[in-house]
Structure 1
Amino acid sequence: MPGRTDAVIVVFGSINIDLIGHAPTLMRPGETVLGTSLEFSPGGKGGNQALAASRAGAEVKMVGCVGSDDFATRALALLSEAEIDLSGVRRMDRHTGTALIIVDDAGENMITVLPGANSRLTAAALEQAGIADGDYLLLQLETPMDGVLAAATLARQNGAKVVLNLAPFVDFDPALLEKVDVLVVNETELAGVLKLLEAPELDEADAVSWLSEKFGNTVVATLGSRGAIAVAAGSVTTVSSLKIKPVDTVGAGDTFVGYLAAGLAEGGDLSSAMERASVAAGLACLTPGAQPSIPERPVVDSRLAAGADPTAQ
């Protein structure tokens, strides 16, 4: 595949099966809404990002946990089909992680995640699977926090780069950010981390700069239809988003993160990696489901070649 290098992206994170219901509108508390259809789809932020990185051209190893139930096979189906290294995936005596998702006619969604086997993931699984100098460790917050922190520490000790997607946002030990080379947040997560750190009131661009300077890392903020902004060593990069009418936004953020990590792992510059990631995330909104919607790299590069997503400095 294009872009594949010797650097491996090791994804330490959740593996779920998504139960996706479609309804005209999202329900309010206490309200029952009559839906229209139900689908089963592989998901989990870890699994989604692993598949996105693989489809972007990276060599990927998945480290995670699934149950011993029928959902486990479904949850791993597309990762296996993509020939992702699943030797670091353990079977547990809990149910496979499950996400209950409702998507409305506007493409907006509500999600409840039941972690199941994901709650058993520890850094011991990463140590056993292995991570080497020059590799990239990709993390999210959908598995236990002590394991995430220990995994980041182990990766740094082994000379690997650490990419953290601060999603879904939960309270965490800020010491984690000191072990991160690239931090990726959306608007909600950016606001959450600023509140946690008791940062001054800042607009989005200044907030990203403040975070980058405070922890000495690269910070990337995705801004939905407004594209994305990043700050690295004081240098600001912005990219626009595809102008689309979304069908389903589930998995778009994970697509961005996986493609971004792949771009960096193959030695590309931040601007190019963000540009490709933004186009991939936009294309992911045109198809229902998380993993099924992740585009292959040739499709993304075709849109880039057509001038679909110019970078604005």
Structure 2
Amino acid sequence: MRITVVGSINLDLVASAPSLPAPGETVTGASLARHPGGKGANQALAARRLGAEVALIGRVGDDEMAGAATALLRADGVDLSGVETDPAAPTGVALITVDPSGENQITVAAGANHLVTPEQLPARIETPLIAQLELPIPTVEAAVGRATDFVCVNLAPAAPVSEALLRRADLIVVNETEAAFYGEALHAGGGMVVVTKGARGAVMYRHGVETAWATPPRVTAVDAVGAGDAFVGAIAVALLEGMEPDAALHFACAAGALAATRPGAQPSLGDRAEVEGLMKA
């Protein structure tokens, strides 16, 4: 199986703090770590670790952070030939605060991600496609429009998109906040819609009718950053492998739960044996 991911590449600066700051509040006593991140890169690595051959299309800056942001992708064999280096913009950075329960606050400085244009895309994307909304919307729309195979769109962060994109997607993945943003428009096409609900699991719909439901294994959450991206990579791989919806949802919930037990986005992503082992535990 070969998958193309069109998406963001970031370096995450993660402060693990005793609590999340309220507006105007300063919280001290945090520890700082750097991890590769970005929704596109995370989902690409998630799918790769679960057995797919993955090519990533994106953009980084001509700076030291680019190497750190792509290090795990290179190590795991993700095809980065579609990742361009921009001399005029920095690599994207996410500033993340995480509390002891795993809850987080995230601020993203997109940098080179916002300079990925439709001209950087191939004329046709003939493999299954995974896309998100951390790139310019016209670029995401172009990628979906050029795809000739299965299309998975993670509508995150929520932003207005065309009706054509919603109708073209074979699989839409959103969390509850994003589902509320799009409302009934999510169900306008004939594809699958999955709404994730954190520790409560995920539900799949077709034409607005619930068709499958799954809950994740019980785990002790350390850091929820990357858990949603682990879910997206896993649900896409599972469905492309031919798993039935119930089984695919259970597999994806386990992948997300496993990611929540480890700090960082990409370092937390499990391989196939780990995910299947958690499902059996």
The TM-score, its normalising length taken from structure 2, stands at 0.95
Change (3 A) 1:265 1:123: farther
Partner of 2:266: 291
1:289 Cα shift?
A: 0.3
Give the count of matched residue pairs. 279
- Secondary structure of the 1:215 match is coil
Residue pairs, 1:170-249, within 5 angstroms: 170-194=159-183, 199=184, 211-212=186-187, 214-232=188-206, 234=209, 236-249=211-224
- Return the letter of the residue paired with 1:58: A
**Contact 2:258–2:278 (Cα < 8 Å) also in 1:** no
Is there any run of 5+ residues in structure 2 with no aligned partner, and where? none
> Which whole-Å CA distance do the structure 2 matches of 1:169 and 1:117 have between them?
20
**Contact 1:100–1:112 (Cα < 8 Å) also in 2:** yes
Computed over aligned residues only, the root mean square deviation of the Cα atoms, in angstroms, reads 1.5
Partner of 1:11: 5
- Return the letter of the residue paired with 1:51: L
1:144 Cα shift?
A: 0.1
- Secondary structure of the 2:265 match is coil
Partner of 1:202: none
User: Deviation string for 1:274-300 (max 9, x for gaps)?
Assistant: 211110100111110000000111111
- Secondary structure of the 1:277 match is helix
Q: Does 1:151 align with 2:143?
A: yes
The TM-score, its normalising length taken from structure 1, stands at 0.86
Partner of 2:98: 103
Identity among equivalent pairs (%): 47
1:68 Cα shift?
A: 0.3
**Contact 1:58–1:265 (Cα < 8 Å) also in 2:** no
- Secondary structure of the 1:105 match is coil
**Contact 1:96–1:118 (Cα < 8 Å) also in 2:** yes
**Contact 1:16–1:75 (Cα < 8 Å) also in 2:** yes
> Which whole-Å CA distance do the structure 1 matches of 2:103 and 2:215 have between them?
20
> Which whole-Å CA distance do the structure 1 matches of 2:223 and 2:32 have between them?
14
1:31 Cα shift?
A: 1.1
1:262 Cα shift?
A: 1.1
Partner of 2:85: 91
1:235 Cα shift?
A: 6.0
User: Deviation string for 1:205-233 (max 9, x for gaps)?
Assistant: xxxxx843x21111011111111100236
- Return the letter of the residue paired with 1:67: G
- Secondary structure of the 1:142 match is coil
User: Deviation string for 1:147-197 (max 9, x for gaps)?
Assistant: 000110011xxx211100011112333332022110001111101111xxx
- Return the letter of the residue paired with 2:229: D
> Which whole-Å CA distance do the structure 2 matches of 1:187 and 1:171 have between them?
16
- Secondary structure of the 1:246 match is coil
User: Deviation string for 1:18-58 (max 9, x for gaps)?
Assistant: 00011111111111111321000000000000000001111
> Which whole-Å CA distance do the structure 2 matches of 1:116 and 1:35 have between them?
29
